[in-house]
Amino acid sequence: MKQILYILIVFFSLTLYGQNKDKRAELYIPSRSAEISVSPNEKIWLITYNGQTYFTNSIDSIWHCGYDFSKKTDNKPVVDKMTFFNNDTAIMTGYISYNQSIYKKNGLYLTKDGGQTWNIVDFGGDEWIYTTFVDKKGNSWIAGSSKELYYSMNFGVNWEVIHLPYEKSERTHTIYMIDSESGFAGGESNELFYTTDNWKSVTTILTPFDQNKYKVRNYGYSRGESINKIIQWKNYLVIRQSNNIFYTDIDTIDWKSFSVAIKFFEKDKESDNLYAITRDGYIIQFLSPTEYIFIAENQVQNIKNIKVENESIYLLTEEYDIYKVNKNEFIYITPYTNDYKIKEPYIIKKSDKFLWGATGKNLYIAGYKRYWFMTNWYRLKKLDFFVSDITVINDSLIVLWDGHKNNYKYSLKDDEVSLFILDNPLKDFLAKPLKSISISSGYASEYGEEKYNIDYTVKNDTIFTPLNISSIKYEFESYKHDDVNFKNDISVKLLEEILMNISLNPYEIPSIKDFLITESDVNNFFNLVDEEIAKNKTDYLNRNKYVDRDFYYSIPSKLDTISSSIMDDIINHKEVGWSSIREWFKINIINQNNDTLKISKKYSIRILPWNLPWIIEYKGLKLNCYSIEFSRFINSCMPESFRYKEAFDNKHLIMSIANYLWNKED
């Protein structure tokens, strides 16, 4: 029977409030790490772009901090990958300044003692190295941001340069060698080469893009034609071009999709077995392009990188957790270390006796100390969700908000986490009449900020009337503009009814019919599609994105088929990405008891249709608000000049639906 281990090893027998003290610190990774590296004896390494290194001797062992190249003052590196010849010898590549007497140029790091010490080597070029391939005989090939490939036959000590005859490409993104003479290389502009004499000559191979096997859908410097990965498996080639994976018989190039959609693939070099991660997170082994077996019953999530060693699949997640999976084991770990104490949590809240803390998915507790540096934190749990906020109920009960959709209750007594369903959460607030409402929207960036604000106060207990409206813009100078012409009276009773409905049905998500989409909305959507297509032709960042106009124009005819589950996915979609611009809506509703109901929406990547879901905060607790009626009410309170008023438009909802369905087809 397969051994399934979710490793949570506690090394301490001391008791904290009836529980074991887990003093291990989660491995702190201060910059991005692109890959997991595994030596033949299955020692695992993580390296960051800044040059910090971390390792463990086996999947179930404690982690240690290795050499920190970021502390070098003469040549701070940018490190992408670590590649092993054997247990002792490995190279680290990326852009690693090789210090010469006159100037600095790229080099690589070489270890011959399993990573205890590293020496810098000049490989002869100055390119950023993107791809490496080594074998246990000491042959190695590296290439990157030029048409040059570099070859070493003595474990990376000495190098020679080889020119690749690209016509369109300026970069090499992948190398795969069958032996010391034969192999493949792929460039960023749809060029794939094959050699049988270690790159003295090459043959060009047709690519999936050449054979019109896919349409370019994604962003990229090379119109989505980059050859990102190529391997030989049995008598087949397997390729990732752009974000598409295909295979072909090596004797007759005709690229085809596998019998199951996959996101990652990797081969065990010794056995020639091909492993893959399916789109829905299962690990499989291909027996042929049309036949496969499942390696594990469990699914894996948020994978960013895959390695295979000794028939074991090693997976690095976006959160730097690690899987090890083979036919006998399914192991999932978070890297922990004893090299330093648990750092002060990002979120800290106090109860009478304890300090409660959270960072990411880790929940911590500590007793009070006179000085902060004397505080010793202990891990209570590694959760299945990120903690965005903590509300303390008492010394043994807290509520955790995931910042996205749900509240969870944690009991210290039982050491259990459960979903916390709020029952009529606004009842106390609505027990008193409403007094005022304030609405603001704006943005802030390194270049400046803007803020729009409107305040309403109750008049004659029945209507809200504008008390003040202003817009403030800060860039290189400040000014204030008052729109004195805006006249608008809003029903108090209407807002009370909307809030009561939210309180009685806090988790109800609107259906597509609730948005009352009109023919005018559809026409506005068509105009928005055409605007996006025109923008892609001129905008540097978007010019490589393929937009199928016919597909987008077909969406309005499909709106009646949009299910409640699709609406849930679209409305609760979590933004992925980062922007230096922070945008927001903030609403404060105050009752006659001077209690404040805070309702907000923050985003940084794109306009969210009708600003759904709003986040409501009252008496320390938070919940999502999905009320389209509330969004319509807020829209009616704002003048046309209000920033981000365009969010309250069904054309953005239809666009979100179209993008969702488009991505599902990818």
DSSP track, 165-227: --SS-S-EEEEEESSSS-EEEEETTS-EEEESSTTSS-EE---TTTTT-S---S--TTTT--E
Burial degree of 552 (CB within 10 A; 0-12, 13-18, 19+): buried
User: What's the pLDDT at 64?
Assistant: 96
**DSSP letters of 403-419?**
SSS-EEEEETTTTEEEE
Question: Residue 601's beta-bridge partner residues?
Answer: 585
Give the pLDDT band of residue 136 (cuts 50, 70, 90).
very high
What is the spatial distance between Cα 327 and Cα 6, in angstroms, rounded to a whole number?
A: 16
Question: Which amino acid appears at position 439 of this protein?
Answer: I
Question: 36-40, 108-112, 136-140, 447-451: which range is least confident on average?
Answer: 447-451
Taking the CB of residue 32, how many other CB atoms lie within 10 A of it? 10
State yes or no: pLDDT of 14 exceeds 70: no
User: What's the pLDDT at 73?
Assistant: 54
Segment (H or E) for 381 = strand 378-382
pTM of the model: 0.84
Q: Of 483, 435, 442, 464, nearest to 586 (Cα)?
A: 442
- pLDDT tens digits, residue range 277-295? 999 999 999 999 999 999 9
Residue 494 is encoded by which pair of tokens?
């209407």
Q: Of 358, 332, 329, nearest to 345 (Cα)?
A: 358
State yes or no: pLDDT of 369 exceeds 80: no
Q: Of 286, 309, 291, 298, nearest to 234 (Cα)?
A: 286
Q: What is the DSSP letter of 258?
A: -
What is the spatial distance between Cα 528 and Cα 653, in angstroms, rounded to a whole number?
A: 11
What is the spatial distance between Cα 309 and Cα 270, in angstroms, rounded to a whole number?
A: 9
User: What's the pLDDT at 663?
Assistant: 79
The arithmetic mean of pLDDT across residues 24-38, rounded, is: 88
Highest mean pLDDT among 441-450, 506-515, 576-585: 506-515
User: What's the pLDDT at 5?
Assistant: 47
CA quadruple 489, 491, 494, 498: dihedral sign: positive
Q: What is the DSSP letter of 340?
A: S
Burial degree of 51 (CB within 10 A; 0-12, 13-18, 19+): buried
Summary mean pLDDT of the chain: 87
Three-class secondary structure of residue 560 per DSSP: helix
Rounded-to-5 percentages of helix, strand, coil across the chain: 15, 40, 45
